[in-house]
Amino acid sequence: MRLSLGSPCTLPSTSSSTHSRIQCCTLTHTQPIRLNRKQPLENQPLKKWERLLHPVDSADSMPSWFPAHRPVKLGDRWMEYQGVRNWEGLLDPLDDNLRGEILRYGDFVEATYKSFDFDTSSPTYATCRFPKNTLLERSGLPETGYRLTKHLRATSGIQLPHWIEKAPSWVATQSSWIGYVAVCQDKDEIARLGRRDVVIAFRGTATCLEWLENLRATLSHLPKVDSDKGPKRHGPMVESGFWSLYTSGTTMGPSLQEMVREEIKRLLKSYGDEPLSLTITGHSLGAALAILSAYDIKTTFKYAPIVTVISFGGPRVGNRSFRQHLEKQGTKVLRIVNSDDLITKVPGFVIDGDNEVANNKENLNVAGLASWIQKRVEETQLAYAEVGRELKLSSKDSPYLNSVNVATCHELKTYLHLVNGFVSSSCPFRATAERVLSHHNR
């Protein structure tokens, strides 16, 4: 598929008072980044089916495909880019500064994939390949200005049958490295961002038990908090498997929830008196864990700073009450969604008629059904609600994707490619927004 030539359109520039002309969906002020166009993205060979589990191949270098535009100083507008106004006026057309921030947080997520040991024959399978002090550099992010402060692990709460002992050890891997916490320490980067930023980054599904947890799609009640009123059956509920991975621990180690709380408590004590933001980002399963972490942080810490979630290709997480609790807390969620990605349309059904995406037929929305039918759907514990604001992209809009398949549409590199190319709903892709992807073709 190729974009047809169109007449120039003019959009306000986000970095100056001048205007940027878009010819054939091409931003003339943006330097081109070259894409390996010998093969379309979806035709580049998959190592094996496990590419669905780790959509970013390991590579020694990432800066070769960084966005060409230079990071700009956010200054007093940093809270706007963190979603304090729900990104009003920044998504369509996509503000170029926001684009840069989304891609920057996407790079932190890619580092989780590049740091994870996917080799099932390795004695260190499902652990982090790098120590904290070199993880970002060895993952291809040498000059972020951030320093890792905590490795994070997630544990499945599934009770395994006795016969599993006869299976290969990797099949029953119960606890695995899931991501990290990093804090901005560089003075120049703090000045550019307008505050000190704390990043929590999560990878997507990688182990057998994580896949099984993903399939536990029925909703489970969250523990009641002091602000909850009314019967528990009307309270916040989330996908059972995601909650299990977030809250389960072992006799040998704490849960992901405990690790996040402990580290955030320490960081708030260290930096709570200065401008501070908590940005939680993740892809696929990691996107769901990011939302649960944000909810838990705002529930646990009364004076927590602004908490923002930047999610890529995330599934649905909870019901309407859960979404209402997130909104009441002030948690800001920006969901990056590829409309061709099936993972963003599961699990369950969206029956919530007052959400902006509930009217989208692609979301299997059943809004408008008779109330008794809605009640029956809710009783199945499969009635979900979308959260936050949505930046909707489409693989079909890219001139570098000749066809659409399930694996390519869900890959993180596809999401970053689409973010880098998106202009607006009326001009969905700029021709100069190319990415060097040759280091993925191995």
**What are the backbone angles phi and psi of residue 428, rounded to the nearest 5°?**
-70, -15
Catalytic one of 69, 410, 417, 440: 410
Whether 96 contacts 71, CB under 8 Å: no
410 classed as catalytic: yes
Calpha distance 7→28 (Å, rounded): 14
96 classed as catalytic: no
DSSP 236: -
**What are the backbone angles phi and psi of residue 152, rounded to the nearest 5°?**
-120, 140
253 pairs with which residues across the strands?
A: 250
Catalytic one of 57, 96, 296, 341: 341
Amino acid at site 416: L
Catalytic one of 176, 284, 293, 311: 284
Alpha helices in 380-440 (DSSP H): 406-410, 412-421
Cα of first residue to Cα of last residue in the chain, in angstroms, is 25
Which tokens belong to 187? 């003075």
284 classed as catalytic: yes
Q: Are strands 349-350 and 383-384 parallel, antiparallel or unpaired?
A: parallel
Q: Are strands 219-221 and 237-239 parallel, antiparallel or unpaired?
A: antiparallel
Q: In this structure, how many other beta carbons lie within 10 angstroms of the beta carbon of residue 270?
A: 13
**Residues marked as catalytic:** 284, 341, 410
